[in-house]
Amino acid sequence: MMNLAQLRIELERSFAPLACECSVDGDHSLTVKLYHAGSGQVDLVISGLDLGSLRTQESVDALIGELRYELDSNSLRSSRDQDLA
C-alpha cells in the first residue's frame, strides 16, 4: 500500500496543475481534495474511499480514473449551470 505522501504526489502528477490533499478519517477511510493551489478553489472532494484497497499501482490507477471521471462530470455540470445563469 502507498503511504499518503506517495499517493498525493501520484495524484498531483496526474491532475496537474491542481494540488491535492489526502487525509485519513477516523474510520480509516480516505478523503481526497483536488484544488487550485493559488486561489484555494476546490474542484473536487471525495470522502469515504477504502484506504486498504490502494495496495497496488493498478488500484491507484483505477482511483485516478474514477477521480478524473468525477472531476470531468463536475466541470460539465458547472459549465451547464453557468450557461443557464
pLDDT digits over 40-63, tens only? 999 999 999 998 888 889 999 999
Regions of the chain with pLDDT less than 50: 80-81, 83-85
Instruction: Tell me the C-alpha distance between 85 and 76, whole Å.
Output: 15
CB atoms within 10 A of CB 72: 11
Say what the pLDDT of residue 81 is: 47
Say what the pLDDT of residue 5 is: 86
Instruction: Tell me the C-alpha distance between 82 and 56, whole Å.
Output: 39
**pTM for this one?**
0.80
